[in-house]
């Protein structure tokens, strides 16, 4: 059981009555995070449609029920004590479709729902001879999570290809946000109205990609090569949340600093700084969220003391 509750008897009754087939009670978050840690979500909701989601957010707003959206949980650290309220997963939102094509500029716009895995979206683009998503090959998670994090690598980011977003506001209304209203930052994304505190849910994104540059076979080969390269450099076989810290704006990257500090292989409980890539904290042996946080704090303290650099987490810590 979650150690504290945000759902009273009336709230549980409403959820059972209206969303019963799509609600799990006291669902372990360890099942839904790539770290494989985290206590239970008080309620875990997987809406089958935008209509169900709209009904929920309208009710939750009136009832004062807290909720949060997660994607595949690939950059999420959930607390050992669990999460009160409702955790929403958009795993049923997984459609990709052609939205527009411009022959003059040789561009195609694809629309992907938020629950589509980034890997699947990249493969779809490559299979259809569309360029622009290669930077995301090997980045785990979903399109929605990738948008919110402005996911990227040194080769590019979501900011380079995202042209519009579909969002559901706190009243359950769906609307389109144009690119001119976007605000991109390093691993961050918002839009003009969200800066005012609007609690909105990303439902989909539209991405403008290039066609005609290289054929699908070449793009598929590039995809395989990039994935193989990432597997060589990263500890793919152990649970982790990807790169734990953001790279500082100047100087060596976070991984290089942690490596130079001699911290590869450092362990607290079941958590370990990867010997393969120093910016990965891995769940080596039945780690808890507390183990991971304690190890991250020790890494930050050591890097600050040795190099005067304050590392900031890249993953989302609840």
**Is 187 marked active-site?**
yes
| CA contacts within 13 A on the Cβ side of 68 | 17
- Residue 144 near residue 189 (C-beta atoms within 8 A): no
* Given the residues 42, 131, 272, 314, the one annotated as active site: 314
* Given the residues 131, 243, 272, 300, the one annotated as active site: 243
Task: Tell me the DSSP string of 28-73.
Answer: EGGGSSTT----EEEEEE--SSHHHHHHHHHHHHHHT--EEEESS-
**Is 228 marked active-site?**
no
Task: Tell me the DSSP string of 70-108.
Answer: ESS-TTEE--TT-EEEEEEE-TT---EEEEEEETTTTEE
Alpha carbon distances (Å) from 84 to 45, 50, 76, 189, 315: 13, 23, 16, 26, 20
Is residue 83 exposed (0-12), middle (13-18) or buried (19+ Cβ within 10 Å)?
A: buried
CA neighbor of 287 nearest in space, from 268, 274, 270, 265: 270
**Integer Cα distance of 218 and 126 in angstroms:** 9
Q: Treating both helix axes as pointing N-terminal to C-terminal, what angle do 50-63 and 9-19 enclose, rounded to 10 degrees?
A: 170
**Integer Cα distance of 14 and 41 in angstroms:** 17
CA neighbor of 211 nearest in space, from 140, 316, 131: 131
**Integer Cα distance of 157 and 187 in angstroms:** 9
* Given the residues 111, 117, 187, 226, the one annotated as active site: 187
Active site residues: 187, 243, 314
């Amino acid at each position: 059981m979650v150690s504290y509750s945000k759902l009273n008897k009336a709230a549980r009754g409403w959820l059972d009555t209206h969303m019963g087939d799509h609600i799990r009670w006291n669902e372990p978050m360890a099942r839904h995070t790539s770290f494989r840690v985290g206590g239970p979500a008080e309620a875990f909701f997987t809406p089958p449609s935008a209509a169900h989601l709209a009904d929920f957010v309208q009710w939750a707003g009136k009832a004062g029920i807290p909720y949060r959206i997660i994607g595949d949980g690939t950059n999420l650290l959930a607390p050992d004590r669990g999460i009160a309220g409702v955790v929403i997963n958009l795993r049923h939102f997984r459609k990709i479709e052609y939205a527009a094509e411009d022959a003059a500029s040789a561009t195609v716009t694809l629309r992907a729902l938020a629950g589509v895995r980034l890997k699947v979206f990249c493969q779809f683009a490559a299979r259809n001879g569309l360029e622009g998503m290669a930077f995301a090959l090997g980045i785990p998670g979903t399109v929605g999570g990738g948008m919110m994090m402005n996911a990227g690598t040194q080769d590019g980011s979501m900011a380079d290809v995202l042209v519009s977003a579909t969002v559901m506001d706190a009243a359950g209304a769906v609307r389109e946000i144009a690119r001119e209203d976007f605000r991109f930052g390093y691993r961050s994304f918002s839009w003009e109205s969200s800066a005012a505190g609007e609690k909105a849910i990303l439902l989909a994104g539209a991405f403008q990609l290039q066609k005609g540059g290289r054929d699908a076979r070449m793009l598929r080969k590039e995809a395989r090569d990039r994935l193989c390269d990432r597997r060589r450099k990263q500890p793919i076989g152990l649970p982790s949340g990807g790169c734990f810290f953001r790279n500082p704006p100047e100087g060596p990257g976070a991984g290089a600093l942690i490596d130079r500090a001699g911290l590869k292989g450092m362990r607290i409980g079941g958590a370990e700084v990867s010997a393969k890539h120093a910016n990965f904290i891995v769940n080596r042996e039945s780690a808890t969220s507390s183990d991971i946080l304690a190890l991250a704090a020790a890494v930050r303290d050591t890097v600050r003391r040795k190099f005067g650099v304050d590392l900031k987490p890249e993953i989302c810590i609840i």
